[in-house]
Structures are given as C-alpha cells and as structure tokens.
Structure 1
Amino acid sequence: MATSLKIGALKAPSLDDIEALGRVALDTLPEEFRKLAGDVELRVDDFPTPEVLDDLGAETEFDLLGLFHGVGMAHAPAVEYTGVMPNRIWLYRRPILDYWAEHDETLEAIVSHVLIHEIGHHFGLSDDDMEEIEDAAG
C-alpha cells in the first residue's frame, strides 16, 4: 500500500507549537471560564525545573505534564497587592509528547486536557476534585 507520508518532513512539535495548541484551547473555553481564569499566563518549557520536581515529589521529569503556579482564586486576597508574580500555567512539551506517543489521543486533546486541569487548580480544585468531576462527566 502506497502512502503520501514523507518521513523526512516529520518533526516533533516545537515549544511554539505546544503554546499555539494551548492558546487555542484557552481561547475556546466557554466565556465564563475564560473570565474566571483572568490574566493567567501560559508558558511552555521542555521539562519542569528540578526544584519543581523535588517540591512535588516527582520520580522523573516525565511525571508532570503541566503545572499551575501562583495564587489560586480560593486563596487570592480581597485586595490586590504588588510584588507578586503573575499566575502561570506551565505546559511541559517533552512529557506531553511522551504521553501522546503512548496513548490514542490527539495532541490537541491532550494539551487541552492538561490546560483545563491546571485551570482547575487556579480555581482551587484539587486533583481528587477534578477526577470526580471528570468521572461524573463520563
């Protein structure tokens, strides 16, 4: 069977590609969720830092696909104050690509899932809370 696939043209998605997928996922959230997410920054890196891995007790650098870093809505002060880093959602390209290679999901679906999961942390939800919501949604 002939194929039109040109192997020499294939490249792994770049940091910019993953960021573009994350931006599309963020832009396609329902408006009320985008408003609640506010000005959260989206960042992409190949891997989490060693400090992040240590803080979260990760066994390998591939254990973490994304991370919310900042002050979640449930813990935000009533009054704005200065000197605080902006809330950020990190997407980690290499762990995402590794997960993608091992599962039967599109890269777009995986990036969207990770982004939504991290926004859940921004809303103050725990991993267990989000798992219950996902299970209830089917």
Structure 2
Amino acid sequence: MARATVAALPAQFAGPAGAVVIRVEDFPPEEFMAELDLDDPFELSGLYEGVPLPEKSVMDQPTRPDTVWLFRRPILDEWVERGNVSLGDLVAHVTVHEFAHHFGWSDAEIAAIDRWWE
C-alpha cells in the first residue's frame, strides 16, 4: 500500500521519493521511542528518518539512506478505532505525511493543510 501511494505521487515528487527506503515494522524501535520521549508505542504510526531535501548538501556524507518507517500495529489500531476510513487510505495518509517531512515540511505545515485528526 505504501509503495502504491509513492507510485501515485505527482512526477515531481515520485522521482525523489523513489530514493527513500520504506520500512514496515510492527512497532517503533526502542531508540525511536526514547528519542521522541514516548512511552506508548501505539502513539507512533510513522516516522521519517533522514535529512530533508531542502537541507541536503553535496558535501553531506550519508551514513544510511533516508527512510520512511511505518509501524503496522499502531496503524491497524488507529484504523480499527476510527472505523470510518479504509486501511488503504490510512496507510496512504501516514505515508504521505512522512514523505512530506522528506520534502522539508514541518508537522505544523502539514497540519495546516491536512486536518486528518478532525
């Protein structure tokens, strides 16, 4: 579902998005939970790990690829709790949100145009 979402992005985004790794895990790794000061792994459905495109430099020496992480159990729980959205739409939403970070958008900028939680 996440790969289909990326493939459906407009061409100017799909190309650069193709260089990002998509990883799906049941829950966020402990290191992410600690870095974000989260106690409940169900609070995190996705995460972008990397350097946003506007901040990249040709002088950068990447140590690992930019990665969009999707966390299966939190996504599934949110899908069940909502009951008013398809699983595909929810996965697409989380995927697009995390790729927006790759393109340099902050959470506040994303929230200004995506009122998903309402």
TM-score (norm 2): 0.89
Q: Which amino acid aligns with 2:79?
A: W
Give the greater-gyration-radius structure (CA). Answer: 1
Map 1:1-138 onto structure 2 (within 5 A): 21-79=1-59, 81=61, 84-103=63-82, 104-135=84-115
CA distance in structure 2 between the aligned counterparts of 1:31 and 1:130, rounded to whole angstroms: 20
Identify which range, 33-42 or 119-128, moves more after superposition.
33-42
Aligned position for 1:13: none
Which digits, 9 at most, give the CA deviation of each residue in 1:40-64, with x for residues without a partner?
0111000001110111122300000
Paired residues of 2:6 and 2:18 also in contact (CA < 8 A): no
Paired residues of 2:48 and 2:68 also in contact (CA < 8 A): yes
Uncovered stretches (5+) of structure 2, i.e. residues with no partner: none
After superposition, the CA RMSD in angstroms is 1.4
Uncovered stretches (5+) of structure 1, i.e. residues with no partner: 1-20
TM-score (norm 1): 0.77
Detail structure 1 runs of 4+ shifted over 3 Å in the superposition.
none
Q: Are residues 38 and 79 of structure 1, via their aligned partners in 2, closer, same or farther at CA, if it must alter by over 3 Å?
A: farther
- Tell me the percent identity: 39
Aligned residues: 114
